[in-house]
Amino acid sequence: EMLVAEIDGRIAGYAVVLFRKGSGVARLYSIATGPLFGGLGIGRMLLKRAEEAAFEHNRMMLRLEVREDNSRAIRI
């Protein structure tokens, strides 16, 4: 599932959530915000919407793997 955040008709960020048949876990494959839209809470909003999408697809867990040096992603 592709989630897109828009501000004034411009793409501000996106998230891609993958669902595998037979798995109870959804995977947040990718999430990003545009450089002009950092610090506006868009990443948090996309993460919340990704969690909702997982629940809507009967997944009780959402997995996201983040590199150790990605402190901005870890803060979310």
Question: Could you report the per-residue pLDDT of 53-64, keeping only the tens digit for each?
Answer: 999 999 999 998
Domain count, the chain: 1
CATH number (domain holding residue 33): 3.40.630.30
Q: Tell how strand 2-7 and strand 10-19 pair up.
A: antiparallel
Kindly report the average pLDDT of the chain as a whole number: 92
Q: What is the mean pLDDT of residues 35-50?
A: 93
Label residue 12 by pLDDT band (50, 70, 90).
very high
Residue 68 scores a pLDDT above 90: no
Q: Tell how strand 2-7 and strand 25-33 pair up.
A: unpaired
* Whether 17 contacts 28, CB under 8 Å: yes
Residue 33 and residue 46: Cα distance in Å, rounded?
9
Look up the domain containing 26 and give its range.
Answer: 2-75
pLDDT for the residue numbered 1: 95
Numbers of helices and strands, H then E, in the chain: 2, 4
